[in-house]
Chain A
Amino acid sequence: MASVKVTGLNKRFGDTHVLKGVSVEVPDGAFAVLVGPSGCGKSTLLRLLAGLEEADEGHIFLGDRDVTRLEPRERDIAMVFQSYALYPHLTVRENLAFGLKLRKTPAAEIDKRLGEASEMLGLGPLLDRYPKALSGGQRQRVAMGRAIVRRAQLFLFDEPLSNLDAALRAQVRVDIRKLHDRLGATSVYVTHDQVEAMTLADVLFVLNKGVVEQAGPPLEIYAHPRTKFVAGFLGSPAMNFLEARLEQRDGQWMAALGRDARGVQVALDAEAFGEELQAGRRVMLGVRPHDVELSQDGSGAALEVSIVEALGVESLAYGTLAGAHFVARLEPTAKVGKGETVRILFRHVHLFDADTGLSLRAPAKKA
């Protein structure tokens, strides 16, 4: 096992600047997840770690080895591809043994590791089949097995669950985490699915347009997003954003919603935002759908409800609030119908600069 350290990584494909000075640190044995929207450079970063692409600038360290210029085979890395990339002309057994044979591992040792891996993943009955005779879930397990037998320093996963159906995905997600806890191998996992990101990661890296926007433990990032992008990307349904202006009335800081100052006022916790609070400053007010409740006394902001999704454990009300789209999570027992206007209160709000998108939360509270 080894830690991973990436510093100032840059990668261009012709005119497209895909990675713009990416730095990443993953402690030994940790499960790191790279998450971000499509095209943000996740796969590219992973391929650079594997040595399948060459960095233009920057360094990659595995433990204390600088592997930046090494060939993939010299890096001692195992990778699970999105397409699984099982060798079609080899049986499952031969697929698993492929890398070990290349490294001239003794036959007895190969047998032992194959036995362990196939026991862990339940591959026993599949060993003599060819990949084309496997289901999607079985192929996925073989791909995992092929990585496990290698006992490499670092495991890389590129969206390994994206070809599975939803039920299986949830199951395998749990299996992958269990497997990691059992093997303790340093892992870097790429996904654009934020549920996978939140549930699997010890340390999460949110990528956007080739830049790491925020790094840290997932719950920490969820609670204290450093940018509007991160805030909007993590969490489902996504955070609501409302244009607002900061004002101070009778010593109390307020965010006035909407463009005209006569709209709804939201009281702010001055301590959380500190110096960033300046009267007249234009901001984006962020509210998670889960951080609202129905007002009992007619105070609060008016939400014109256009659709209600009753999911059983909760109900989601979609509508318009202060001229913007808004989603509110309500108790399943709440009696709110289509076309109604309800008043809601915000339990917790985030503030972001309207231009830079940076969070206004005081530095002490940052991740």
Chain B
Amino acid sequence: MRFIARYAKDRGRVFEIVTLYDSEVQKEQVHKEKPVIQTLSHEHPAALWFERKMQDDFGIIVEDAFDKRPLVHQEQFPKNVHPMCKDFDAKELDFSEFQPYNYEVIKGDGVFQVSVGPIHAGIIEPGHFHFSQAGEKMLHLEIRHFYTYRAIEKMLEGKTLEEAKPIIERISGNESIAYQICWRDILLQASQQELPQALQKRHAFLLELERMIHHLTDLGFIPNDAGFGAALSLGSKLAEDSRRKMKEITGHRFGFGAIDFANKFLDTVSLHEWLDSMQESIDYFEDWIIDIPSLWDRLDTTGILALKKAIKYDTVGVIAKASGLAIDRRINNFYLQNGFEAVTQLSGDVAARFKIRIAELKNSLTMMHNFLQEDDTVLTLNTLQDGEYMSFVESSMGELFMTIDIKDGVIERFFARDASFVNWQAVHLMMRNDIIADFPLINKSCDLSYAGNDL
């Protein structure tokens, strides 16, 4: 069974703990006076962050966990404050006394620590990487995040789905369409309606366009981190072209506000032409880059995640596919009929993740041709029913899971698990045989979201 998420809900006198696997949902209730649960992290190491988060958010005690350090609440966060409980309503917290965080380190003769971040050298989101080094060799890496923690789960409580939309689409900017589609699916479940095929195609087109932009950016940045700048010039040019296309179609360069229920005019002829020209550029790019041996010297065998580990850590998305795990939320009739092909690689290294991105890119282009159609369907929504809803979307990073409970017409509990949240927990496994200079390259090859992870 693949573990997907574990989260809690405040239910008055009890906490409800939901554990979600790919084939089942388990629910357990614990009394608030003795909120003790058992850890799943022995079988599913990725459960660890979920459990540490519950401990911060609700004060739930994970009795047999080997790691009970705070996760979201950092050094100066007030102690014993559990903001996801319903009785917490402060809008402001003061900094409390600095309490050092105990990093996981390896100690020994000549072993030293390197700490990087939260503010990084490049233009990138904040996060902290803590290395234990023996010379250049990385012995261990602890990844510590939640610097961009905005408490979005709490922010959304009490809002209608409509009011929540502008915030949900801004959780992680480069996955905005994916978040919007998750929101859309929850809305449709609540209104008990089916999405007309034409709208589904329009949204799927935009989702693939978003994936294209993301992959093209990475196809430039990964070689750049191995010292091959020409790829960045070409990759970022193509990414910019696609971003402008996004603006042309949706009116916004990241597609904020793009997912709605009215099918608008698409100039299908020019879009088919544009897709063909992109196809040509990408074929050229592949042909060219495959032929540069000094680049592949760096990408091959760097940052390997073995299949066994990829399964054990319940990874998803590009990382899982590069290690041989064909997990993809697009494996369904709608996508298969429109030309979806699952891609996998076996080597699990930076090169494999790079090749997955190229293959997905090409597959996206094929599907986008099929998604294009002229149509002006408009769907009018019924009134929304209260209930507990869940949805899944394959974002450019992997499986995105969102769940919303609606009570009296407003959001009672919101929870989202970005693909990054599980994948980040597997990144340290890729460092075992590499030197610290490889880290930026390995990290870039995964290109995970910080904002989506932190919420």
Chains A and B bind each other: no
B-binding residues in A (CB < 8 A): none
A-binding residues in B (CB < 8 A): none
